[in-house]
Chain A
């Protein structure tokens, strides 16, 4: 009897333990299931968000493309407009140049002598401007000479160092020679131009007599 009782207690204990374990296991499985669901939910959310972003990116890309096209069109339009304006300005200049004689001979209220003086003053202003232009170009000439000198020294140094291939050095020297040649040409043109302008200034002085007041 005692043995039977012992056996029943053992059986009961085993049963209780087993059911608790099953319950715990079930609970844990539920928990895992819940977590899994949560993970899936988060995953879905992320997917949805990713899709949204992708769509947005696509939209932005399309918008960007449209804007780019628009900008391109605008640029093209502006370029064409600029060209038209440039042509118009050119035509106007040509027209004014053609008109030059008429404008240059419209005395208005001035007497012949006064008008002659006025036109001579305009010509002298032109001479002054041309002298300014020559001076500016002389500055370019001066800077150019310095640049050529610098380049020559650089090439010479590279040749001494043997850091650059001889063929490349020759190409560089050709570029320097070309620049030097152009500088010499500019110097000559400026010299001749200055002389010409000086003579023309004298010519103007000769033809225009001062107005007697």
Chain B
């Protein structure tokens, strides 16, 4: 009987620790993903800005063809 209760206690303890680890891992993952997504968004915006400026440059350079 004593052995059984010890076994049950151990299982419960392992369960609790495991759940805590999973929660922590999920939190870390969410944080990482937030950072990655924000980086991706900023990169997209930067590239878009550069492309837009390049288009303006090309248009201004086209005007020089008639010179």
Binding site for B on A (CB under 8 A): 100-101, 104-105, 112-113, 115-116, 119-120, 122-123, 126-127, 129-130, 133-134, 137, 140-141, 144, 147-148, 151, 154-155, 172, 175-176, 178-179, 181-183, 185-186, 189-190, 192-193, 196-197, 200, 203-204, 207-208
Contact = CB atoms under 8 A, between A and B. Distances in A.
B50 A204 contact: no
Interface of B: 25-26, 28-33, 35-37, 39-40, 42-44, 46-47, 49-51, 53-54, 56-58, 60-61, 63-64, 67
A155 B64 CA distance: 11
B36 A185 contact: no
A179 B60 contact: yes
A18 B25 CA distance: 138
A155 B67 CA distance: 8
Contacts of B60: 175, 178-179, 181-183
A105 B36 CA distance: 11
B34 to A, nearest CB: 9
Nearest to A179: B60
Nearest to A184: B57
Contact of A186 (B26, B31, B53): B53
Nearest to B47: A130
Contact of A137 (B25, B26, B51): B51
Given A155-B67, A179-B60, A116 B29 contact: yes
Given A119-B32, A119-B36, A134 B50 contact: yes
A200 B43 contact: yes
Contact of B32 (A137, A190, A197, A207): A207
**Interface-central residue, B25, B42, B57, B63, by most chain A CB under 10 Å:** B57
Given A130-B43, A193-B46, A140 B51 contact: no
B26 to A, nearest CB: 7
A133 B63 contact: no
Contact of B39 (A148, A176, A192, A203): A203
A144 B32 contact: no
A126 B32 CA distance: 16
Given A116-B36, A154-B67, A185-B56, 19 more contacts: A104-B36, A113-B29, A119-B36, A123-B36, A123-B39, A126-B40, A137-B51, A137-B54, A140-B57, A175-B63, A178-B63, A182-B53, A186-B50, A186-B57, A193-B47, A196-B46, A197-B46, A200-B42, A207-B32
